[in-house]
Structure 1
Amino acid sequence: MTSSRICFPMSGCSRVNTFGGQIMAWMVNVATIAASRLSQAHPTLRAIDMFTFRGPSQVGDRLLLKAIVNNAFRNSMEVGVRAEAYHEEGPNRHINSAFMTFEVLDDGGKPRTLPRIRPEPLEGQRRFQEATARKKIRLDRKYIISRTQGEVPLSVPWDPTNQVYLSFNNVSALKMLAARSSWRLSCEKDQVQLYTLEQKSMLSFKIECEVDVPAHRAFDLLAELSNRPSWDSHYKKCELIQLVDNDDFIYRVVTPSVRHGAMGSPTAANQAKGILQDFILLASKRKPCGSGDPYVIALRSVSLPTHPPTEGYNRGEVLCAGFTILETKDNKSLISYFNQASPEVLPYISTDIAGLSSSFYHTFCSCSQYLTRNRL
């Protein structure tokens, strides 16, 4: 999409330079037109990133505004805009650029699914990949970098005299998270779905798929957290450190650390140093209370005086996570994994949410294979 403008004196400051706000408004207009042509609807501007003023524009300049859809995600699209100025026969000067995110809302005010685009070779493919990377950067910046650490610990002190209350809260928090109605499908691969839920400054995600295993058997297998390293590559080690009762357990989980490297994966140097992350988790399992209720395996961080943070490990925290297992027809199970992502957890999944990888799919495929192998 290309548009031309003339900078008249009323658009200028002291009749010399064009108002920056006026140029921004023109750029938004041309980006909106480009987004509407892809969606065949009226788009809504949600965010503007990397708006860069590279140089001034004078009254009397002609402006050439160019907009192109760099990438269309499931519910949003990124439009790149470039503004060039020229005067009479002079060369074009690149004066402004920006990346704008648009959504198209349905009658209920929810984002519609957008058509995917097929990028052109070379330059189009470069813009496509860079837009995907910027989506991840925005996600990390919003939920990891901008979040102040240490204000309120996510873990709660484990108190044996209050274990009934702590276990109840663990299970009820997961049930409340699962009951939210505003989950948004982020991506899907071979019937494995990844959903996201944004609440204030918290991002939660849900991974869901159906497996050909009875619900009660899937519950027994997934509740045995010590076996999770056999199918989940994010779990390097999982040891039971305290048996609370028949339905509640405290585990120490060791995972690779991503916080000291680039957002999304540990650096080679950190891997070589063996930098790891550990969690102290209360696991509470509950069977259905009635027909139609799911099996529940809830996880949250607790602190134990006997297991303080140790040298060589970054102590992570989980606010709310776990599985719900619902019996479906033909003796199958709908497995849903939830996580109210903390800064220690989100880097593992943000690449999947942005569309840079599909590790969530491979992890759940491994989980499905583990359940199928042990279904009897």
Structure 2
Amino acid sequence: MALESLNDLHIEDEGQHHISSEVKMSQIVLPCHANHCGELSVGQLLKWMDCTACLSAERHAGCPCVTASVDDIYFEQTISVGQVVNIKAKVNRAFNSSMEVGIKVNCEDLYSGLHSRVCQAFATFVARSTGTSKVHLKQVVPSTYREQVEHSLAAERRRMRLKHHEIMDELLNNKSFQITEEADIRKEDKAVETKRTRVESVELVLPTHANHQANTFGGQIMAWMENVAIIAASRLCKAHPTLRTIDMFYFRGPSQVGDRLVLKAIVNNTFKNSMEVGVCAEAYQGEEPLRHINSAFMTFEALDEKGRPCPLPPIIPEPQEGKRRYREALARKKIRLDRKYIISCKQTEVPLSVPWDPSNQVYLSYNNVSALKMIAAKNNWVLSSKKNNVSLYTVEENQSLCFRVEFEVDVPAHRAFTLVSDLRQRQEWDQHYTRCELLIGVDEDDFIYQVVTPSVGDKGKVQDFILLASRRPPCNSGDPYVIALRSVTLPTHPPTEDFNRGEVVCAGFTIYAVSETVSKISYYNQASPEVLPYISTDIAGLSSSYYSTFCACSRYLLENKVGPSASDILPSAVELKTPL
């Protein structure tokens, strides 16, 4: 094993050194690490990933840390005996006593020198105090564009984790997922009863399975869970299955040396070429009752000789609990596809107007905020023009033009955030907003509007946009207020002949508190074809319409410096949330 803590990586900050939390591990895959197919066991990979991430977390915290959760993991390829696994882990952001650790894994072929991506994961670790005082982690200081982006997005990913169970509950209560056995459970001759796939195994936790805190190593628990999951999947497909994804899961409690760990697995559902296996880990000592340690949901495929997924037989779930697991597997599949479709793909690959529904709201909101934060973090902005207090910056990358308008105003940041985030008031200062109607109040942070703008040409149609507006107050001191805008599609508001439906790729505001009474407001827009005609003359220096617009914004903020709170201005989600 080669393990490297990057002690020499640091940045200087007022005479002090910031030590990087980055840790690297390199492992050559030996036969003892592989399965009978000569491929690295995913359980072994999970142990290495968890070890590397834990060392990174403890390097930052300066005290023992435990794994709290791991986000979805998508395995893009298998790794063969003789190849090298390179793992890199780094703390993206620290909160009070928890922190997010980003993990990247690639595979290296020593003969060809080629490197290929295997997976990426985000794990949450909690610092454990060794004394009586409560742990309060030091903040991460990002020094590069990528570190700044991950630091900023970590707050949004944390928000998404906290809403995970709420999303599941809402989806299961949706009538489309309240299925009946007769309608949705296929009863074919080749259907397999899920009880045939049930696996139960017991492991004794020995000192070799524990970490330096005498708790069962989180990676070891994950490896044992992957082992029983493979057996359950193999019993259904009658072949060696390949693990493709592990859904977001949480460690619900610790386990210690001397515990007996009971591991249970069963196939919950099959989806043409893939299956979901549910795994549960429980612990006990002596006569004590079982303690729930962890649950995980793993998706497997069975591949043919050419590496193509094979069709899988349908299943017949067990009564009651089996039917519940069957339905939940359907819900998790939708959530998994939404996350992969909206979040995991590159920003340029996300369709402009993704159909909105309550079950994918959290992921659309994440995509909305993350896109704006990625634009704001760019460090190659070029000043195009400046007039008095208003500056116009541009950056052109990958055939995409982004612009930023920036100014300061003598209004507290929280008040400016309240005023700017209500798009219905924007027509008071923005000539490009003819009308704005609030369609859905999703929750206290997200709203969907229909915005009407003038036609670009004399004979053109008036344009309308369906916009998701996501508001975010600062997560920590030094963070900005964020208002992100992007187009979505609403089934209740399709395009009409009266309007030319426009698209907003990414737009919005960041608001920083310069002082207790002064705000720095930046407006961003990733220009789409519908927006370019409005700004082309400004960027060319031939017009001052944006200067006039944001001077009007400044006057509007000053005139409304004192007024009602956000709760008085924005309707509640209960008032406006409508079923679709």
Instruction: Give the TM-score band, short-chain normalised.
Output: 0.5 to 0.7
Residue 319 in structure 1 maps to residue 517 in structure 2? no
| 2:530 aligned partner | 344
Greater CA radius of gyration, 1 or 2?
Answer: 2
Counterpart of 2:525, as a letter, is: N
Taking the aligned partners of 1:334 and 1:347, their CA distance within structure 2 comes to 27
Q: Distance in 2 between matches of 1:154 and 1:222?
A: 23
Alignment of 1:348-367 (within 5 A): 348-367=534-553
Q: Once the 2 structures are TM-superposed, how far is the Cα of residue 356 of structure 1 from its aligned partner?
A: 1.1
Alpha-carbon distance, 1:330 to partner: 5.4
Aligned to 1:84: none
Q: How does 1:27-66 map to 2 (within 5 A)?
A: none
Aligned twin of 2:183: none
Choose which of 372, 384, 390 in structure 2 pairs with 1:174.
Answer: 372
Matching of residues 108-119 of structure 1 within 5 Å: none
Q: Following the alignment from structure 1 to structure 2, what is the Cα–Cα distance between the partners of residues 330 and 288?
A: 15
Using the TM superposition, give the Cα deviation of residue 313 of structure 1 relative to its aligned residue in structure 2, in angstroms. Answer: 0.8
Provide the rounded CA distance (Å) in 2 between the counterparts of 1:220 and 1:319: 23
Please name the residue that 1:247 is paired with.
445
1:198-245 deviation line (CA, Å, top 9, x unaligned): 011100000000000000000000011100011100000000011100
- How many Å separate the matches in 1 of 2:436 and 2:351? 22
Q: Which 4+ stretches in 1 moved above 6 angstroms?
A: none
The DSSP-based 3-state class of the residue aligned with 1:355 is coil
The residue number in structure 1 matching 2:493 is 307
1:215 matched to 2:413: yes
Residue 386 (structure 2) pairs with residue 188 (structure 1): yes
Secondary structure, aligned partner of 2:452: strand
Equivalent AA in structure 2 for residue 176 of structure 1: M
Question: Aligned to 1:238, which of 436, 441, 445?
Answer: 436
| Cα distance between partner residues in 2 of 1:280 and 1:255 | 12
Secondary structure of 1:331's aligned partner: coil
Q: Distance in 2 between matches of 1:163 and 1:345?
A: 25
Deviations 1:319-340 (CA, angstroms, capped at 9, x unpaired): 1100000000352000000000
Mapping for residues 200-211 of structure 1, pairs under 5 Å = 200-211=398-409
Is 1:369 the counterpart of 2:567? The answer is no
Identity, % of aligned pairs? 69
State the distance in 2 between where 1:310 and 1:165 align. 27
Q: How far off its partner does 1:257 sit?
A: 2.0
| Cα distance per residue 1:114-150 (max 9 Å; x no partner) | xxxxxxxxxxxxxxxxxxxxxxxxxxxxxxxxxxxxx
Q: What amino acid is the match of 1:166?
A: L
TM-score relative to the length of structure 2:
0.36
Unaligned runs of 5+ in 2: 1-348, 563-580
The Cα of 1:312 is off from its aligned counterpart by 2.0
The SS at the match of 2:402 is: strand
State how 1:246-265 maps to structure 2 within 5 Å: 246-258=444-456
- Separation (CA, whole Å) in 2 of partners of 1:341 and 1:231: 21
1:279 aligned residue (461, 465, 474) = 465
Indicate the residue corresponding to 2:352 in structure 1: 154
RMSD after superposition: 1.3
- Write the deviation string for residues 33-82 of structure 1: whole angstroms up to 9, x where unpaired: xxxxxxxxxxxxxxxxxxxxxxxxxxxxxxxxxxxxxxxxxxxxxxxxxx
Q: CA deviation at 1:152?
A: 7.9
Whole-Å separation in 2 of the counterparts to 1:300 and 1:360: 20
1:140-177 per-residue CA deviation (whole Å, 9 max, x = no partner) reads: xxxxxxxxxxx984111112111111111111111111
Aligned length: 214
Give the Cα–Cα distance (whole angstroms) in 1 for the partners of residues 482 and 425 of structure 2.
17
With structure 1 as the length reference, what TM-score do the two structures score? 0.56
Q: Which amino acid aligns with 2:482?
A: V
Counterpart secondary structure, 1:343: coil
Structure 1 Cα separation of the partners of residues 388 and 447 of structure 2: 34
- Return the alpha-carbon distance in structure 2 between the equivalents of residues 329 and 159 of structure 1: 39
The corresponding residue for 1:43 is none
